[in-house]
Amino acid sequence: MTAFTEAWQALEQHRLDTQHLHLRDRFAAEPDRFGNMHETLDGLLFDYSKNRLGEDTLQLLCRLAEASPLAGQMHAMQNGEKNQPQRTPRRPPYRLAPAARRRARLR
């Protein structure tokens, strides 16, 4: 079994184990839930505390991302490489292709 499959199965089992939890239970068990589960970026507030996920869920999601080809696909997409991550033959992702061409000319 691959690391990705194992990570996916662990996340699925976690979902089954926690599907009965209510958000009010999460807030009751974690008094500083908002403090631990929000981010601010350029004046925008991203509040993850009002979702049913917890620290354990985030760890499992990170494990899944690490086991997937996500990092390589992101790098390929940012560099305008063909066929990554979309499946369109012989074409880099539309939005990032012009930037990749400009970077190549500067080199």
Condensed to tens digits (0 to 9), the pLDDT of residues 29-79 reads 999 999 999 999 999 999 989 988 888 998 999 999 888 887 777 777 777
Indicate yes or no: pTM above 0.85: no
- C-alpha distances (whole Å) from 71 to each of 3, 15, 82, 88, 99 are 15, 24, 16, 19, 19
- Average pLDDT along the chain: 81
pLDDT given at position 103: 62
Report the DSSP beta bridge partners of residue 6.
Answer: none
Asked whether the predicted pLDDT for residue 99 surpasses 70, the reply is: no
Mean pLDDT to the nearest integer, 77-99: 60
What are the DSSP E strand ranges found in 13-94? 38-41, 44-47
In this structure, what token pair is assigned to residue 59?
A: 């760890």
pLDDT given at position 41: 92
pLDDT given at position 72: 79
pLDDT given at position 53: 86
Confidence tier at 93 by pLDDT (50, 70, 90): low
Nearest one of 40, 37, 39 to 23, comparing CA atoms: 37
Are the C-beta atoms of residues 47 and 34 closer than 8 Å to each other? yes
Nearest one of 83, 30, 22 to 51, comparing CA atoms: 22
